[in-house]
């Protein structure tokens, strides 16, 4: 049985240690709007008026530390931007805020940068290439790569 082709991930809900620091990152840096705040313990942020793409809560994690390296858990949350200029603009805000990039890659199917939120959760910011440009093997299967990404070219579009 296969999931329908139209299925997609609707939102991510994160346990965070400091709701205000997380809102400052996801709203102030990445640009998502606070759609609802539930007191000092939870907030829901979205883009384009959507009820929420990101849920944040401190219900079980207020003041907590990130899980140690080498343990299971979320590797990263990926945020798809509509075009290269939008991706360049958010990368500029990230760098202007003094947040370092963990990495950047051209995957052939997409261009992506990687960083960490205030709780050290991995965050991927990316833009897809048109499917007609995706690299393919002779048998038609995807031939994704991990090549150097020209971050400066994206910043120039911001």
* The pLDDT of residue 120: 95
For the chain, the domains span 10-63, 75-158
* The pLDDT of residue 29: 98
Identical fold for domains 10-63 and 75-158, yes or no, is yes
Fold category of 75-158 in CATH: 2,3-Dihydroxybiphenyl 1,2-Dioxygenase; domain 1 (3.10.180)
Query: Do residues 111 and 80 touch, judged by C-beta distance below 8 A?
Result: no
DSSP 8-state code for residue 133: G
119 contacts: CB under 8 Å, gap ≥ 6: 14, 15, 16, 17, 18, 22, 66
* The pLDDT of residue 80: 96
**If DSSP codes are grouped into helix, strand and coil, which group holds residue 13?**
strand
What is the model's pTM? 0.94
Instruction: Report the chain (158 residues): mean pLDDT per 10 consecutive residues.
Output: 90 97 98 97 97 97 94 93 97 98 98 97 97 97 97 97
Fold category of 10-63 in CATH: 2,3-Dihydroxybiphenyl 1,2-Dioxygenase; domain 1 (3.10.180)
* The pLDDT of residue 143: 97
How do strand 12-15 and strand 54-57 relate by DSSP bridges?
A: parallel
* The pLDDT of residue 114: 98
Q: How far is CA 97 from the centre of its chain?
A: 16
């Amino acid at each position: 049985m296969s999931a329908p082709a139209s299925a997609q991930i609707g939102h991510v809900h994160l346990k965070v240690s400091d709701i205000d620091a997380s809102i400052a990152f996801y709203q102030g840096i990445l640009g998502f709007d606070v759609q609802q705040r539930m007191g000092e313990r939870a907030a829901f942020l979205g883009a384009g008026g959507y009820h929420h793409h990101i849920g944040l809560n401190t219900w079980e994690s207020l003041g907590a530390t990130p899980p140690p390296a080498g343990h299971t858990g979320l590797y990263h949350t990926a945020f798809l931007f509509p075009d290269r200029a939008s991706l360049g603009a958010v990368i500029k805000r990230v760098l202007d805020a003094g947040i370092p990039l963990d990495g950047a890659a051209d995957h052939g199917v997409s261009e992506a940068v990687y960083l960490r939120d205030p709780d050290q959760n991995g965050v991927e910011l990316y833009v897809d290439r048109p499917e007609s440009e995706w690299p393919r093997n002779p048998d038609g299967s995807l031939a994704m790569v991990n090549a150097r990404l020209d971050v400066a070219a994206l910043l120039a579009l911001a």
